[in-house]
Amino acid sequence: MSRTLVGVVGGVGPLATAYFLQRVVLLTDARTDQDHVDLVVHQRASIPDRTAYLLGLSGDDPGPVMASCAQDLVSIGARAVVLPCNTAEPFLPQVEAAAGVPVLGIVRASVAAARRRLPGLARMGVLATDGTLAARTYHDELAAVGVQAVVPSTEDQAVVMAVIYDQVKAGRPADLRGLVGVVDRVAAAGAQAVALACTELSVLNDELVRASPHLVVDSVDSLARATIQRAGARSVA
């Protein structure tokens, strides 16, 4: 089987990157070590905050730093790069241009996964950072395939941001009940599926799936499966 070494631009955030790597391993159809995916990881936690830059709250541009990371990965043999961060999606063209190899997009992978799981999907909820929502990457990707994005209310978006920044990124216990409430209200607004469109939220995917009756699509799992395929391995059903 032909294999491709995949580089991971990590640190966006650090825990989310570790979770992504775990999901790649667990979702690979493997009986031996040699059946798994070849990865090289650049855990660059010092990459400037994507949301702060996209909202104009910081002048520290994360794009050149992520592009430099991708170049480093290519220099040691990566022939594809993956960027496990939804808020980093607007910088993907810049990273890809610098790397000179394909860069896998988490937004496209997530939308494709949602449509596979629910044929006929017309409205999808998006739980994401303020930066991702402001950049409208999910809005645009969904609109391109005829699906409408449904986003939380202002009050519920504050809950989402608190879970991401004040809890998961800070290493504190997450308000799962609050997040379940957000999913419930987005579904009540017409969403047939709800995307965990932030890799910090993905850390809570298993707990959320157990606690909510609604269809939840995890962006990390979606990207992990795309990474496994790009690397030349097989994912579990």
- Active-site residue list: 85, 198
Judging by beta carbons within 10 Å of its beta carbon (0-12, 13-18, 19+), is residue 172 exposed, middle or buried? exposed
Rounded to 10 degrees, the C-alpha dihedral 52/216/148/95 comes to 40
